[in-house]
Amino acid sequence: MSSEELQDTNTEERFEFKKEESAALRSDKGLTEEVVRLISEDKDEPEWMLDRRLRALEHWQNMPMPTDWPGQPDLTELDVEEIVPYIRPDVDKREGADSWDDLPEDIQDTFEKLGIPEAERKALSGVGAQYESEVVYQNMQEQWEEKGVVFCNMDEAVREHEDLVKEHFMTSCVPPSDNKFAALHGAVWSGGSFVYVPEDVTVEMPVQAYFRMNSEGMGQFEHTLIIAEKGSEVHYIEGCSAPKYGSHNLHSGGVEVFVGEDAHVQYSTVQNWSKNTFNLNTKRALVEKGGRMEWVSGSMGSKVTMLYPCSILKGRGASANHISIAFAGEGQNIDTGAKVYHNAPRTNSTIESKSISKDGGRTNYRGLVQISDGASNSSTSVECDALMFDNESTSDTMPYMEIDESKVDVAHEATVGKIGDEDVFYLQSRGLDDDDAKQMIVSGFIEPITEELPIEYAVELNRLIELEMEGSLG
């Protein structure tokens, strides 16, 4: 076997392998008050968190499923009553593990195949690893802890940083009343990351969390809360995967980012959920004066994805940059985009969306830019590019702009096209075969995404796209 074939095999194995479920606690299916109370009791949560869960449950029960969006993905196959919302793996439920050697062998093997220990040694300031519903490992380099940086799992944050969590958790950023799946998330959330960066501290290397769903028919509902104080800077990377099963899985995470005055946060996601997974997330950032928020998203896997990271530019001179790539193959509907609210003067935003569809897959950019009255001298630029491999695939662009201020600069551009025969022929004349020529064209197409990631993750993203083009991932 050649080294290239071996690399293909290793990359496929990293995401497609399965482990037999070994759970210390498994809730019943469906979303009931009994399940919500079980989760809260198992975590030994304070009363205020249980109260918030129960209020979120009420919102879930009273809100209709989204059905009236133009061209929205079909959610009729998703039956939340058949989803297991909470599975605690067989590890210490309060502390997790301090080293890889302390993890059970099956979980340790899972994350070793996913490359997490290697990435921690080479490129990261800290790592969190979630398996099923719980974070099983969390670690951060001492040099950042000494500067007051906090990187821990959300369960620990509720215990050890209760005041900060109580102030920020699903209050002003993503309240449960925001949408149906935010309410679902608020009721049964489990795991996720808490990041706190003190004033004027720059975390020079990324921190990463990796989320793995291993069990069939489960839901994963991790919550990520990032608080970057004035003048601070941090880059958070999120990776996700799940093996393919015969029944549906559900991922409905929640992300809340608070970007302080003149602070800078980059949130990067590389998602490779299996094609039986519904991926329905809510991600939002509140950006203060002079702050900068960057969202970098790569969505390859899932049966259905509905993901629209949002930036609310609250303070004068705040800015946001949204870069995303979506890949849809046979049977996939990847509906992604961005939302930006300009609520102060001299705010600016850029949105760059790239999508690729083949074998009848469907991609869609769905975006909203709102510039409020009084947000003078603000600017926004939206660019959407779609690349299709065949006549069966579809790609749509649905931008929506609400401009209530006259002194602004607004630009929008969209292109849709197929891979040109002339481009492929030119590359073949230089010695490349058909597949390699198309791969080179796609690599150039997604370069704006990969150049924003650390080299290890850029390479991984390119390999995932290549395997998707070959139909090798399931």
CA distance 117 to 113: 9
Does residue 113 surpass a pLDDT of 90? no
Bigger pLDDT: 163 vs 117 = 163
Instruction: Give the least confident one: 37-46, 75-84, 203-212, 217-226.
Output: 203-212
How many CA atoms lie within 13 Å of 246's alpha carbon, on the beta-carbon side? 0
Confidence band for 1, pLDDT divided at 50, 70 and 90: very low
Confidence band for 123, pLDDT divided at 50, 70 and 90: very low
Query: Which residues touch 391 (CB under 8 Å, ≥6 apart)?
Result: none
Give residue-wise pLDDT tens across range 317-340.
Answer: 999 999 998 889 889 999 999 999
First to last CA, the chain: 23
Tokens of 384: 């959407």
Give residue-wise pLDDT tens across range 413-433.
Answer: 888 777 666 666 666 677 777
Does residue 259 surpass a pLDDT of 80? yes
CB atoms within 10 A of CB 373: 10
pLDDT value at residue 9: 41
Helical spans, DSSP H, in 63-179: 105-113, 116-123, 142-145, 154-160, 162-168
pLDDT > 70: what percent of the chain?
73
Query: Which residues touch 221 (CB under 8 Å, ≥6 apart)?
Result: 85, 133, 184, 185, 188, 189, 190, 191, 251, 252, 253, 254
CB atoms within 10 A of CB 207: 24
CA distance 457 to 288: 29
The residue length of the chain stands at: 474
pLDDT value at residue 265: 98
Confidence band for 79, pLDDT divided at 50, 70 and 90: very high
Query: Which residues touch 144 (CB under 8 Å, ≥6 apart)?
Result: 125, 126, 151, 203
Does residue 349 surpass a pLDDT of 50? yes
Query: Which residues touch 237 (CB under 8 Å, ≥6 apart)?
Result: 124, 206, 207, 208, 209, 268, 269, 270, 453, 454, 457
pTM for this model (two decimals): 0.85
pLDDT value at residue 446: 72
The C-alpha angle 174, 282, 74, rounded to 5 degrees, equals: 135
**Mean pLDDT, the chain, as a whole number?**
81
Concatenate the DSSP letters of all residues of 167-191 into one string: HHTTSSSS-GGG-HHHHHHHHH---
Give residue-wise pLDDT tens across range 264-313.
Answer: 999 988 777 778 889 999 999 999 999 999 999 888 778 999 999 999 99
In eight-state DSSP terms, residue 199 is: T
* Domain range annotation of the chain: 3-470
pLDDT value at residue 39: 94
CA distance 405 to 426: 48
